[in-house]
Chain A
Amino acid sequence: AQSVAQPEDQVNVAEGNPLTVKCTYSVSGNPYLFWYVQYPNRGLQFLLKYITGDNLVKGSYGFEAEFNKSQTSFHLKKPSALVSDSALYFCHEGTNAGKSTFGDGTTLTVKP
């Protein structure tokens, strides 16, 4: 069973607006949660991770994510979207290191 879920295939936002890409997880015990970004015809790039500690995690390119245990969520956020943020975003749970626990991906499109 998939341990992470990304409920939205596509997210569209206007440049300058805040963006949210959703992820929920289903793991017994403490999860290891990651966000990756993929640009066309490229591999995935690491954005940020939550292992323990502060629930609000800051990462690359101005992205942040909030770990919410009660809602079992780890949504990716950015206060002001850029056109260059348009890409495919993957949520990943790493407790079972390397196994196929990626979300299905969310395509983010930021329009000028």
Chain B
Amino acid sequence: GAVVSQHPSRVICKSGTSVKIECRSLDFQATTMFWYRQFPKQSLMLMATSNEGSKATYEQGVEKDKFLINHASLTLSTLTVTSAHPEDSSFYICSARDRGGQGHTEAFFGQGTRLTVV
């Protein structure tokens, strides 16, 4: 099946610094990727939809200046957490669908990134 690779799997950073998380579709082209945040034992919260070659679409309540998303190619989307604070500590997951991202195809998820801000 299709593979989505997310890097890094774990990162610890100091408060006030920025962290970049990469999401790559390894064997398919993804015009659309999705970024989620997951709190312990809770469901996935969609943060934004990343569109190749255009601006990301952010969900209500998500600060676009804090969570910068870039989708510069058909296989790579990045999420940068700027000026990170301890409350940004969480598990971040990306996903993508093959074949234009239609709803009847399953999504492929990255392995997730555990961000800890100290």
A residues lining the B interface (CB < 8 Å): 32, 34, 36, 41-46, 49, 51, 88, 90, 92, 94-100, 102-105, 107
Residue numbers in B under 8 Å from A88 (CB-CB):
41
Min CB gap B71→A, angstroms: 13
| B84 interfacial by beta-carbon distance below 8 Å | no
Most chain B CB inside 10 Å of its own CB: which residue of A42, A51, A95: A42
Provide the bound-state CA to CA distance between A43 and B109, in Å: 6
Cα A102 to Cα B14 in complex, Å, equals 32
Q: Is the CB of A98 within 8 A of B112?
A: no
Interface size class of B (residues with CB under 8 A): 20 to 34
Known: A41-B112, A43-B6, A43-B109. A97 touches B103 (CB 8 A): yes
Say whether B114 contacts A102, CB under 8 Å: no
Q: Can you list, as one digit per residue, whether each of B96-118 has a CB less than 8 Å from chain A (1) or not (0)? A: 01000111111111111010000
Report the Cα distance A49→B97, complex, angstroms.
Answer: 14
Count chain A CB atoms within 10 A of each CB in B1, B44, B46 and give the residue with the most. Answer: B44
For B59, what are the chain A residues with a Cβ–Cβ distance below 8 Å?
Answer: 100
Report which of B32, B101, B107, B111 forms a contact with A46, defined as CB distance below 8 A: B107
Q: How far is the CA of A34 from the CA of B109 in the complex (A)?
A: 13
CA of A105 to CA of B36 in the docked complex: distance in angstroms?
Answer: 14
Q: What B residues does A34 contact at CB under 8 A?
A: 106-107
A-chain residues with CB within 8 Å of residue B45 when the two chains form the complex? 100
Q: Is A96 within 8 A of B43, CB to CB?
A: no
Evaluate whether A102 and B43 lie within 8 angstroms (CB atoms) in the complex, with A43-B110, A97-B97 already known: yes
15 chain-A/chain-B pairs, Cβ below 8 angstroms = A34-B106, A36-B107, A36-B109, A43-B109, A44-B95, A44-B109, A46-B1, A46-B106, A49-B104, A51-B104, A95-B103, A98-B95, A98-B103, A100-B36, A105-B43
Decide: B112 and A49 in contact? CB cutoff 8 A. no
Are the CB atoms of A104 and B34 closer together than 8 Å? no
